């Protein structure tokens, strides 16, 4: 089982949903990055369940930094974070030891790990592990912010209800990062919440789309083909539980355009290269062009629903039916947006370190 991503700055995650703790180790961080515990707590708070639109399992996420930080700054050695699991009800998963939950990894995990997997709460396949990603990502977000790079994600849609588009960057990013339910149009947000609550009342769930913008990222980062910015970001973003699609810029919308519509005109203004539009999402040939990086994630409806579903008993190899118990989210999209920010920040930090070396913070600041 491989749980490490990144080359110059690498993240390793560990733990299970109902185990003692989940956590992360970041290796390759430059020394001297400020580590703000209050900011980490705030980021974890954005991921935490809230009211009728979330699971009733609420963890305090009282994290502990075990290594890599001294006097509030990174030391350059591996930074380890541990977050204990305290609010667990493993008995709710007794049936899952033999009945596969449709849409979950129960069956595939059982086959892949020969029946030795921890099935409680989804074990290592659980979204619970994203708490560790968010804690680590908070450190990356702070480091990038110190370089003038800002990241923000909004809930683009929920079950066909749409938020407005990005229009003023970085102002929209600042607004989103101050909100727990990250939408730019508050009226649309109210309708989204009502739709999630409706699905919950019916024992069902809904999905949606997240859209992320990254501003202030320098041009010239990335490689063609296998290590393109799109390739590496997609690789990391698809690790977020529930993400089933990633697109950049116009994405699949390019299929209906002429080349004359799809290309971004390039000009020189005030001695600087500028693009009149940003349909390519800030990336050409796998390399950043200095425009905002824009990508969207399709997030599927939470597979844990309270309707009776057809499944199998994979120990007896018999057909069966399953009605879930326990505490489950009717939607995860509002909690996943801070995970998208975190994964993007960690991946982009890795790319900057690969491009500029371990002291990338000073070098990027020198380009501003």
Domain parsing of the chain, residue ranges: 4-367
Residue 222's nearest CA partner among 282, 151, 275 is 282
Q: What angle do CA 27, 31, 36 make, to 5 degrees?
A: 90
DSSP letters, 180-206, are SS--S-HHHHHHHHHHHHHHHHTT---
The answer to whether residues 152 and 118 touch, using CB atoms and an 8 Å cutoff, is: no
Contacts of 55 (CB under 8 A, 6+ apart): 49, 327, 328, 329
Superfamily holding 4-367: Chorismate synthase AroC (3.60.150.10)
* Position 238 confidence tier, pLDDT thresholds 50, 70, 90: very high
Coil, strand or helix at 219? coil
Coil, strand or helix at 269? strand
Residue 189: both structure tokens together:
């947000």
The DSSP call for residue 350 is H
Residue 104: both structure tokens together:
């979950």
In this predicted model, what pLDDT tens digit does every residue of 110-122 receive, in sequence order?
Answer: 889 888 888 887 8
* Position 283 confidence tier, pLDDT thresholds 50, 70, 90: very high
* Position 70 confidence tier, pLDDT thresholds 50, 70, 90: very high
Kindly state the helix (H) or strand (E) to which residue 117 belongs, with its residue range.
none
Residue 92: both structure tokens together:
């709710």
* E strands in the chain: 4-5, 10-15, 21-27, 64-67, 69-70, 73-74, 79-84, 150-158, 161-162, 208-215, 243-248, 266-269, 272-275, 283-284, 287-288, 293-299, 309-313, 318-322
Kindly state the helix (H) or strand (E) to which residue 125 belongs, with its residue range.
none
Distance CA 113, CA 16 (A): 14
Q: Counting beta carbons within 10 angstroms of the beta carbon of residue 282, is it exposed (0 to 12), middle (13 to 18) or buried (19 or more)?
A: buried
CA 310 to chain centre: 30
Distance CA 321, CA 312 (A): 7
- pLDDT at position 351 is 97
Distance CA 362, CA 127 (A): 35
Distance CA 159, CA 197 (A): 12
Burial 107-124 (b: 16+ CB within 10 A, else e): eebbeeeeeebbbbbbbb
Residue 61 has pLDDT above 90, yes or no: no
* Position 90 confidence tier, pLDDT thresholds 50, 70, 90: low
The DSSP call for residue 93 is G
* Position 223 confidence tier, pLDDT thresholds 50, 70, 90: very high
DSSP letters, 282-313, are TEETTEE-SSPEEEEEEEPPPS--SS-EEEEE
Q: Which residue has the higher pLDDT, 61 or 143?
A: 143
First to last CA, the chain: 41
Contacts of 133 (CB under 8 A, 6+ apart): 11, 13, 24, 339, 342, 343, 346
- pLDDT at position 114 is 87
- pLDDT at position 88 is 63
Residue 151's nearest CA partner among 160, 140, 159, 161 is 140
Contacts of 87 (CB under 8 A, 6+ apart): 57, 58, 59, 60
Residue 92 has pLDDT above 60, yes or no: no
Q: Which residue has the higher pLDDT, 207 or 1?
A: 207
CA atoms within 13 A on the CB side of 207: 14
- pLDDT at position 59 is 73
Average of per-residue pLDDT values in the chain? 92
Residue 221 has pLDDT above 70, yes or no: yes
Coil, strand or helix at 42? helix
């Amino acid at each position: 089982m491989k749980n490490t991503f990144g080359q110059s700055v690498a993240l390793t995650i560990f733990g299970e949903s109902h185990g003692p703790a989940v956590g992360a180790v970041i290796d390759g961080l430059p020394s001297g990055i400020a580590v703000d515990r209050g900011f980490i707590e705030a980021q974890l708070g954005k991921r935490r369940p809230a009211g009728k639109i979330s699971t009733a399992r609420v963890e305090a996420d009282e994290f502990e930094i075990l290594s890599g930080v001294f006097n509030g700054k990174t030391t350059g050695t591996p930074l380890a974070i541990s977050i204990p699991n305290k609010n667990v009800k493993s008995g709710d998963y007794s049936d899952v030891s033999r009945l596969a939950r449709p849409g979950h990894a129960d069956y595939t995990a059982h086959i892949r790990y020969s029946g030795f997997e921890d099935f409680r709460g989804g074990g290592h396949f659980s979204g619970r592990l994203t708490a560790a990603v968010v804690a680590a990502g908070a450190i990356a977000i702070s480091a990038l912010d110190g370089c003038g790079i800002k990241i923000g994600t909004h809930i683009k849609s929920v079950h066909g209800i749409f938020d407005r588009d990005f229009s003023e960057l970085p102002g929209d990013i600042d607004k989103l990062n101050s909100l727990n339910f990250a939408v730019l149009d508050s009226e649309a947000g109210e309708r989204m919440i009502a739709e999630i609550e409706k699905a919950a009342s019916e024992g069902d769930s809904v999905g949606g789309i997240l859209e992320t913008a990254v501003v202030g990222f320098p041009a010239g980062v990335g490689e063609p083909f296998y290590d393109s910015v799109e390739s590496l970001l997609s690789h990391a973003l698809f690790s977020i539980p529930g993400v089933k699609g990633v697109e950049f810029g116009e994405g699949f919308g390019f299929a209906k355009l002429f080349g004359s519509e799809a290309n971004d005109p390039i000009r020189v203004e005030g001695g600087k290269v500028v693009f009149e539009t940003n349909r390519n999402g800030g990336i050409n040939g796998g390399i950043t062009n200095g425009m905002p990086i824009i990508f969207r994630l399709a997030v599927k409806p939470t597979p844990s629903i309270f309707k009776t579903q057809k499944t199998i008993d994979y120990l007896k190899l018999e057909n069966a039916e399953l009605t879930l118990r326990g505490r489950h989210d009717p939607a995860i999209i509002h909690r996943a947006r801070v995970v998208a920010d975190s994964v993007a920040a960690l991946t982009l930090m890795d790319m900057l370190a690969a491009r500029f070396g371990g002291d990338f913070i000073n070098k990027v600041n020198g380009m501003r």
